[in-house]
Every structure is written in C-alpha cells, then in structure tokens.
Chains A and B, each alone.
Chain A
Amino acid sequence: MDQIPLRNQYLASYRQVTKKFEQRLPKLPFSANSITAAMLVISAIFPIFAHAKPISIIILLIILILDFLDGVASRQQKTDSKSGYLIDTASDKISDFLCAIAYIDTLIGKIFMGLVFLNVLLQFVSIKYKIHYILAVRFFILVYLLIY
C-alpha cells in the first residue's frame, strides 16, 4: 500500500469535531501501539462480561476511548504512518468481532455479526480503492447496551 486511504466526507466531518477536543488533551505518555494492544487485550475479556451490565458498558466505553486515544497518541508523537493505519484498522476488526460474538445467540447479535463481516469487506475495499469506509459496530453495540 503506497498511501493511507483517505477518509470519506462523513468521517472527515467527524474528525473536525474531535480535533478541537484532541488539542486540549495533555501529551499521552504511551505509544499508539501500546494503547492499541491494551484495547485488544481488553476486547478479549469483553465477552466474559458481555451480559453483566453495567460492567459490559464500562468495558466497552474503555475500549472505545482507547481506540480514540491511539490515534491521538500517534498524532501527538508524530508517529502516524501507513503501518499505524494498518495496525489500527486490523485491531478494530478483531475488537469488533470479539464485542459482537457474545450476543450472537440473539437476533440483534446476529445482525451485529453480519455488520462485522460487512465491515471486514469494507476494509478490504478501503485498502483497494484508498478511500476509508467503516461501520462503527462497537458504537452500535454500546447504544444497544444503553437502550436495553
């Protein structure tokens, strides 16, 4: 891959909102890869607590915050790169899967799993055509947990 896929217009507008918040954050002491690895490890234990609210909501919030912070750390430390993009997106797909799998015995869980599959396909399309598309599967799961 010779360049990082560009964000589509919707994701670009989301970045404009988070950029202002990001500028107020202190300098993070951890590398982006460490934060992503922590996010993955926490994602691995998420299914154990998936049906125990409010612990599941707290863990999912931590996962989403860490996912946001890895990007912040890479930009603060000026280590954002193609490799970082690949690590971040690949980790997101594994994390999405681990968060969705625990609910697969319900209809909504099956829909989440379908979205995980679609998200992997979209990621390959993003790599091929160099425009970044994602589905925020973990965010959908969080909304589901907050509502039901």
Chain B
Amino acid sequence: MTFFTHSISAGLIAYAVTSVNPVPGLIWACLLPAALLDLDHLYYILKDYKKFKKPIGTLHEARSPLHEVAGIGIISITSLIISFWNPTLAIAIGISISVHILEDMIMGISRPYYPLNKDQIKFFNFTFNQKVLIELSVLIISIFLWTKYL
C-alpha cells in the first residue's frame, strides 16, 4: 500500500476512536504516524538503489524492524510513556502505526521477527491487479468515511 492509503485508512480508525476526547492537533496525530512509518523504506532504497529500482514487490526487504512485530513492541512502550502525559495522543499514535503494520502484513510479504529471524511470511497470493483493487477500495471507503468527520 502507498503511504497515502495507510495514512487515510489507519488515521480514520485512530480518529474514530479518539475524536470523542479531542486534543489540539489530533487529526495530524492520527494521519502522520502511519505515513511517517514508511520513511524507513528510504534508508534502504538510498543504500541499495539498484535493488529497489523497481519498487513493486520488493519493498518488504526495505523495511526496518519498526515495520514488523518489533515495531509493535516499540510502539507499545512508547504509547505507554505518552499515555501518562496525554492518553488521547497515545491512542491516536498507537492505532495509526499498528494498523499500518497490520495492513502491510495482510497485503504482502513480511518478515515478522526481523532482525532476529529473517523468515518471510505471506497471508495471500495476491496478484498486482488484486492489490491495486484492494488498495483502491480501501482508499475510496476511507475517504467516504472521513467525510463524516470533516
């Protein structure tokens, strides 16, 4: 999925949960973490540009541990620390990032216990066209539901 779809869909769930107790900048706390998580691809792409010249179907190898189960561990302790200061923000950031990780895991190939274990897993054998169709569906449904809040 593109960072935009991640941001819109994960941000929607985060906003639906947290908008009952709004805090300043909440909408950005919901949208940005899901989008910023994809920045880790840049490090690997810049490091080995030739390998990721054709990014379709290869980006799972350009993920840091933050994108996998280790990321859930890191975000759980981060959310816990933020929750002592601002629980709404902790929930928004936590949901936004975890739903991004969830979407990546369901849609494509992942290495859940990277860097300890490099075994790859795949939920479904989606073709490229099926992935595009699912992404478009998620995007359209999410944008439609966002209109409820904007």
Contact = CB atoms under 8 A, between A and B. Distances in A.
Nearest to B9: A44
A98 B69 CA distance: 13
Interface residues of B, number: 37
Contacts of A64: none
Contacts of B87: 104-105
Contact of B79 (A37, A101, A121): A101
Interface in A76-108: 82-83, 86-87, 89-91, 93-94, 97-98, 100-102, 104-105
Nearest to B120: A83
Contact of B76 (A48, A97, A123): A97
Majority DSSP secondary structure for residues of B touching A: helix
Interface string A105-140: 100011001101100110110011000000000000
B90 interface: yes
Given A37-B123, A89-B112, 6 more contacts: A44-B99, A90-B112, A94-B101, A98-B99, A101-B94, A113-B80
Interface in B71-117: 72-73, 75-77, 79-80, 83-84, 87-88, 90-91, 94-95, 98-99, 101-102, 105-106, 110, 112-113, 116-117
Interface of B: 13, 16-17, 68-70, 72-73, 75-77, 79-80, 83-84, 87-88, 90-91, 94-95, 98-99, 101-102, 105-106, 110, 112-113, 116-117, 119, 121-124
